Amino acid sequence: MASNGGHPLETLRARLYAPKPVGTVTPNTLSQERAPVTTAWAPPPPPIIKPPRKKLPPSLWFLIAAGGFFLIAGIVAALFLVFGGRSVSVEHVTIEVPGQTTIASGDTVPILISVKNDNPVAMLNATITVDLPEGTRDASDPNKALDQFSDSLGDIAPDTRAERTVNAILFGAENQILTIPIRVEYRTLGSNAVSVKEVKYFVTVTTSPVSVTVQSMKEVESGGPVTIRVAVRSNATTPLKNIALLGTYSPGFIPISATPAATSGSYFVLGELAPGQEKIITVTGTLTGTQGDDRVFTFTVGTAKDDGTSALGISYMSNQVAVAIAKPFLGVTVSLNRENGDVVTVPSGQSVQGNVSWKNSLTAPVANAQIYVKFSGNAFDPATVVAGTGYYRSNDSTIVFDKSSNPGLALLQPNDTGAGTFTFKPKQGVRNPSVDLTITIIGTRAGTGGGALTSKLTRTLKIGTGIALSSKILHTGGGITNTGPVPPIANQETTYTIQLTAQNSLNGVGGAISTTVLPAYVRYTGVTSAGETSITYDESTRTVSWNIGELTPDDAKTASFQVAVLPSIAQKGTSPIVIPTQTLTGTDRFTQQLVTASASALTIQTPGDAGYIPDKGIVK
């Protein structure tokens, strides 16, 4: 028997062949349940067939590749933005102006400019240029203009900056935005190209260096006096030089005087204004217009232009005032020869019939109303005045309508009316003749709150020039040789000379021209004698035109042209018309009115010829 420490197989053999059981046997604890007995072979399970793997299409591979490319590009771009590129570009140059963005015009403004180089290389020989607005002055010398500032910045190393300060006195109109261009130029190592970086600096002017205020009366009757007061005051802290004021007067305003006197028209050069100094300009004149109109006067202050013209170089501020045309207390209408215009034209030598009518336009009575019509002008002849229902005061050439000649003027109730008449005849023989009438109305408002009332209006009478046209027909005279039988014979051509004379009297006449139309049986030959003038013929309209041009006062001009007459058998025994009525037209330079004259028709009768007898003017 093997020992207990023998091989396990030996131990098992000893136990198997021992005469009696050795040790205890552990009961079997396995399940006693019997497995079912298979009575036949089961078929093997079918094999599992895996489907073949599909290949990806090329388009999908392309999308995957593109997505990967953009992913990598995005990562690279993000890294570039975060860590910055190292390329050389003007985009890596920064110009900063941290100064103020609003100023008062005329203030000294320090403009601090900072130039930073974010390039990986140095900026070599950098320069800075600043263009300043017109009118800018140097802060160190206010008398010196500063149009441009330029300086060298030297070399600017990478990641460093250079700074410059421009001290300037800036000017501008109120609320004006000033634009200041700033330019930096530089080179880089290894390149001859000049790189330029530009920015614009904007600053708003909040207050004007000069203020202008305009004052006047609120309303005035048409033709009444108006006074306008303009105050120009400096708001600047430094002296302002070369200040000027430009006024725009309302239509209907006639300036009479100004203090100080205008340099030209409505342009006033005021010169230098010290800080806080004020200058006063007063303009006086008369204003006419239609009742209810608002007449606006505008004044602009600024600097005078250097070229000496009556204009502003820089406009700082404008202001205006409105004057209303008020209803007069007496509505007065003045007519001359039944014309109511401010300017009336009458022919030379004609008498003038005047009419003055009035109406109380107030809601209250007017007491002791008086109307004065005063005459003046180079064509006024006091010996011809007839006062009508008024009284002519010869010592001052005035017709007076008052209660002594018109009792109704003692007290005019609201809407009461009246009228007066007068006549006169303008003087002859003067150049550019005119008569001026100044109508003044005065009265007193009746009742409580009464007071003096006055109103004024003017009328001008211009006397037009007189022009005349005369003509004659000649065969043997007139300076042009004529041919053909006299008396004329039917179906045979005879030529004649037509002589025209234009005359003028008082005023110069421009654009004078005389015209006539030839009959069908009359031919224009083209032979003329017109001196400095010209004669033309329009064959389509058969019109002969004598272009005279200017006719001075007391001037007379003559011209001649030849025509050929071919009478027909039907005209035997008659004197046919050669030239119908002729007309002369032109413009009176003084009155600006069209003036006309005419001459009668001419037949083949030639009374101006030597040896003329009527039978020579009858067709045979």
Tens of pLDDT along 192-203?
889 999 999 998
CATH 2.60.40.740 spans which residues of the chain?
A: 330-464, 467-617
Q: Which two tokens stand for residue 3?
A: 């020992």
Confidence of residue 51 (pLDDT cuts 50, 70, 90): low
User: Which range, 205-209, 250-254, 415-419, 513-517, has the best average confidence (pLDDT)?
Assistant: 513-517
In the CATH hierarchy, which fold is given to the domain comprising 467-617?
Immunoglobulin-like (2.60.40)
| Residue 315: other Cβ atoms inside 10 A | 16
Task: Give the mean pLDDT of 241-267.
Answer: 92
CATH code that applies to domain 210-326: 2.60.40.10
Sequence-separated (6 or more) residues with CB below 8 Å from residue 127: 150, 151, 152, 153, 184, 185, 186
Q: What is the pLDDT of residue 105?
A: 77
Identify the pLDDT of residue 361. Answer: 80
Helix (H, G, I), strand (E, B), or coil: what is residue 75? Answer: helix
Return the amino acid letter for 586.
G
Which residue has better confidence, 418 or 137?
Answer: 418
Domain 330-464 has CATH 3.40.710.10: no
Q: Does residue 336 sit in helix, strand or coil? A: strand
Q: Measuring CA to CA, how many Å separate 152 from each of 93, 97, 184, 189, 496?
A: 16, 17, 10, 18, 92
- Indicate whether 344 pLDDT > 70: yes
Q: Please report the pLDDT score of residue 48 as a whole number.
A: 66
CA-atom Rg of the chain in angstroms: 55
Residue 373, pLDDT > 80, answer yes
Query: In this model, does residue 272 exceed pLDDT 60?
Result: yes
Residue 38 has pLDDT above 60, yes or no: no
Identify the pLDDT of residue 191: 83
Q: Which amino acid is at 405?
A: S
Residue 128: CB atoms within 10 Å = 22
Query: What confidence tier does 504 reach under pLDDT thresholds 50, 70, 90?
Result: very high
Residue 207: what pLDDT?
78
- What value does the mean pLDDT of the chain take? 86
The stretch 612-619 carries a mean pLDDT of 91
Residue 1 is predicted with a pLDDT of 43
- Tell me the per-residue pLDDT of 459-475, one tens digit each, with 9 for 90 and over: 999 998 989 999 999 99
Q: Is the pLDDT of residue 171 over 70?
A: yes
Q: How many CB atoms lie within 10 A of CB 191?
A: 11
3-class SS letters over 421-465: EEEECCCCCCCCCEEEEEEEEEEEECCCCCCEEEEEEEEEEEEEC
| Range in 12-26, 113-127, 303-317 with the lowest mean pLDDT | 12-26
CA distance 238 to 143: 10
User: What mean pLDDT comes out for the span 106-110?
Assistant: 83
Which pLDDT belongs to residue 563?
96
User: What pLDDT digit, counting tens, does each position of 509-565 carry?
Assistant: 999 999 999 999 999 999 999 999 999 999 999 999 999 999 999 899 999 999 999
Q: What is the pLDDT of residue 33?
A: 56
3 band by pLDDT with thresholds 50, 70 and 90: very low
Distance CA 298, CA 321 (A): 7
pLDDT, mean of residues 109-133: 92
Residue 238 CB partners (closer than 8 Å, separation 6+) = 106, 108, 137, 142, 169, 275
Q: Where in the chain is the domain with CATH 2.60.40.10?
A: 90-207, 210-326
Picking from 255, 250, 321, the residue whose alpha carbon sits closest to that of residue 284 is 255
348 has pLDDT over 60: yes
- Tell the residue number behind the tokens 């004259």, with chain if given: 597
Residue 2 has what pLDDT? 43
Task: Count Cβ atoms below 10 Å from residue 112 Cβ, excluding itself.
Answer: 12
CATH 2.60.40.10 is held by the domain 90-207 = yes
- H/E element holding 415? none
* Pure H helices in 136-259: none
Q: Interior CA angle at 99 toward 98 and 103, to 5°? A: 150
pLDDT computed for residue 444 by the predictor: 84
Most confident of 45-54, 143-152, 363-372, 490-499: 490-499
Contacts of 148 (CB under 8 A, 6+ apart): 129, 130, 131, 132
Largest CA distance in the chain: 209
User: pLDDT band at 586, cuts 50/70/90?
Assistant: very high
- Can you give 134-148 as a three-state secondary structure string? CCCEECCEEEEECCE
d(C-alpha 592, C-alpha 586), whole Å: 10
pLDDT at 198: 93
In what helix (H) or strand (E) does residue 160 lie, and over which residues does it extend? strand 160-169
Burial 424-437 (b: 16+ CB within 10 A, else e): bbbbeeeebbbbbb
